[in-house]
Amino acid sequence: MKEFKGQLISKGFKVAIVVSRFNNFITEKLLDGAKDALMRSGSKEEEIDVVRVPGAFEIPLVAKRLLLSKKYQAVICLAAIIRGETPHFDFIAAEVSKGIAQLNLEFALPVTYGIITADNTDQAIERAGNKMGNKGFQAAQSAIELLNLFTDANI
């Protein structure tokens, strides 16, 4: 019986990071975390492209365009959606999640979810912490692991 497990080695993979400018005091920390995870795993700067979008809602569209370009083997999606006083949060969070999930299935490539959904700013800041407590770091690790799993298992 064979067992396949993705490794955290990112050498040679071309990756795009799509990051929302909205709530940038949080999303910049997510971006730092994602870049840190990629670099620690062996990525070179020229293997990483960062694409900034106005808000979380634009992420699935831009991620799809990046995948259609066939330049990238993975797309890491980063945003911070913080609940306000209206139902806007619920609609945005649901549609962004759905859009990212659809891209995974449509392209059969890693489109990872580094989207913080929080009830308040303090919760969002906690989830944008350093190293393993950073959702951007975790999303980048997921992308690397999946890319290696697909390669190793030849799937």
Catalytic site positions: 88
CA 39 to chain centre: 15
DSSP code string of 55-115: SGGGHHHHHHHHHHTT--SEEEEEEEEE--SSTHHHHHHHHHHHHHHHHHHHH-S-EEEEE
